[in-house]
A and B are shown apart, each in its own frame.
Chain A
């Protein structure tokens, strides 16, 4: 056995101990750097959630309880979170609550709401996820970049908007409803029931990549050299407007 091998075998337990200590220290520091915020409000019928985040992920899930539960994980430097219950509307506005604080860490929200809640969420950057709600409204807007994922939605007014990032919608197209999806750069994917009826205007001027899938029937026309698709599916009672400046648009059968 060479001198190096002997030295290594001598120091190996010490290396192991140091590695474990470093890992534990990192975990402890991470836990110390994060704060938790949790609050629950009783929710009347048709309650509205209005949340404006600055940076971080927002997840809103429908559940079978007449209350709204807000859980927020705050990264350092921790932001102020001051929800307000204003006559049937739960308002969380991190931009306003931290107006004079230039540097705040990400705030990741998990909000559980009754199924019939109207959801209006916005962030300057970060992902937005909404699932299992069928209130009158679902609005998700990202000022800059982040993905928007709306799954199992039954609202009659849906709006999703970002600059960079993907938009995915998996839900109903309610008769007479209004649906608007808009992105500058990303992919917009819509998964809707085949028995939906809607009038659609889908525009992808740069890529001209508009895939209607099972919905590409006879009532659909490509106009503007294929940059836009205009058409009617079923009796056309809902309105669907999809615009993607530099990305693709795809329809899928649910």
Chain B
């Protein structure tokens, strides 16, 4: 018999409920196993205490009276308390709507979310237009014009300004790179670079002036975008020479 089998049979063993052969096995194991014998002694001591004082502990004095008290306590907790009538507060009145008001509110939410969805889908389905930021005023829908005036979306001019500012930042970056490399170039390379940069800058100045006079000249805006891209490419090409 091992320790596990022994401990599972200690309780019936102490109650003399085991058959004699099994009880002999338990005795033999307890004789050789200190841990199991300690467990058996502890359990025997508990059983002795229970046998001696169990009756007093398990049977309370006047038990029917005790059960009645417990029952009363349970019933008092289960009964609902009478509703307290409070004066209606102004904040709660504020959130109480009539059916037409609720319907109108839902309709408004539906319209606004539909509009936002449409704008989102349109912006997503025209990535090249959004990327170039050079949509003309003529391409603007009435809804976009309204939203633009409300300041909810940027107008073509605002988008264009933002796009040119971003291009200028990139040009500044590549300009700095070129400035670092320039000393390494031979004279022929420097002259060719400067000559062609001047040609591009002429076009940049030309379209910038036209757009100052006529901000809605979409063709000039498109050309300015193109020459700024050319300028950036030229700088990038020469930054690794």
Contacts and interface: CB of A to CB of B under 8 A. Distances in A.
A46 B124 CA distance: 36
Interface in B64-83: none
Contact of A246 (B186, B199, B219): B199
Contact of B196 (A54, A103, A164, A243): A164
B226 to A, nearest CB: 7
A25 to B, nearest CB: 25
Interface in A229-246: 243, 245-246
Given A54-B241, A102-B184, A205-B220, A144 B234 contact: yes
Interface residues of B, number: 27
Nearest to B240: A95
A228 interface: yes
Contacts of B237: 124, 143
B128 interface: no
B90 to A, nearest CB: 63
B54 to A, nearest CB: 91
A140 B120 CA distance: 39
A164 B195 contact: yes
The secondary structure that dominates the B interface is helix
Interface in A117-153: 124-125, 143-145
Contact of A144 (B196, B202, B203, B223): B196
Contact of A164 (B186, B199, B220): B199
Contacts of A213: none
Interface string B150-174: 0000000000000000000000000
B189 interface: yes
Sorted nearest first, the 7 A-B pairs with minimum C-beta distance are A102-B184, A144-B196, A143-B237, A224-B219, A103-B186, A163-B196, A245-B203
Contacts of A163: 196, 199-200, 230, 234
A143 B202 CA distance: 17
A246 B185 contact: no
A55 interface: yes
Contacts of A224: 219
Contacts of A103: 186
Interface centre among A164, A184, A203 (most CB of B within 10 A): A184
Interface in A187-228: 203, 205-206, 223-224, 227-228
